[in-house]
Amino acid sequence: MSDNPTDILLTALQFGDGQFPGGGFAFSWGLEALVADGKLARADFASFVEGQLRYRWATFDRILVAHAHAAASDMTRLTELDDLADALMTIDSARLGSRRAGAALLGTHVRLATPGAAALKAGIEAGHVHGHLPIVQGVVFAGVGLDEAAALAVSAYTVAQALCAAGIRLGLIGHLDAQRALALARPLMARLAAQDRPDLDDISTFVPISDIAMLRHTDQAQRLFSN
């Protein structure tokens, strides 16, 4: 793990880049259904991103990413964390989306020979691991040399950036709206990433509007996204 802050910054920029082939472009996490139902307007978008960060990422994904990062070389522990993630994702499309996004990100890191990626992929292929996105992120971000705070910052940013990309594709916002939303969310992401690692018992999530939207998404006749 590098001690050079510039190297850490450049690593974070590379793996947080929206152009990095991690598969996140295929998922809207309920945003598509909310737009189709007229439940979310352009003026609401920045608040929606903040809500997803506060009440889904910070209280659920962040905890799993942090613990997976700490256990990146311990397959037994990673399996336990992955099983916990699977059990706590009660929305089918969210659970499937997390697995697919995790598989896409992991596949890229296997090809890049990121330490830990091949072992995790072997566990998935053997049926021992589901490969949920937060677990994969913890492993591969540790593998590329990011410390826990940097790994969490990249994880948070990829959530916000993916929502912005989905909003643009759906015609809800423009590119400048996306940049404004990211700028507004940045202090929150930085603060959350710097917090001490929470206990697994602290996991929770409360984003009913997007959960309901993901349940309704399967009824849409035309869909750009998987959830």
Per-residue pLDDT in tens (0 to 9) along the chain, 227 residues:
667 889 989 999 999 988 888 766 677 888 998 998 899 999 999 999 999 999 999 999 999 999 999 999 999 999 999 999 999 998 888 899 899 999 999 999 999 999 999 999 999 999 999 999 999 999 999 999 999 999 999 999 999 999 999 999 999 999 999 999 999 999 999 999 999 999 999 999 999 888 888 888 776 666 777 76
- Reference 24, options 132, 165, 156, 186; nearest CA is 165
For the CA atoms of 103, 107, 109, 110, what is the dihedral angle to 10 degrees? 130
The Cα angle at residue 182 between residues 176 and 183, in degrees rounded to 5: 90
Residue 103 neighbours by CB under 8 Å, 6+ apart: 23, 124, 131, 136
Tens digit of each residue's pLDDT (9 = 90 or more) over 154-167 = 999 999 999 999 99
Helices 92-111 and 117-125: crossing angle, nearest 10°?
130
pLDDT tens track for 206-222 = 998 888 888 887 766 66
Q: Which whole-number Å values give the CA distances from 44 to 33, 48, 143, 180, 183, in the listed order?
A: 15, 6, 37, 12, 15
Domains assigned to the chain: 25-214 (1.10.4190.10)
d(CA 213, CA 227): 9
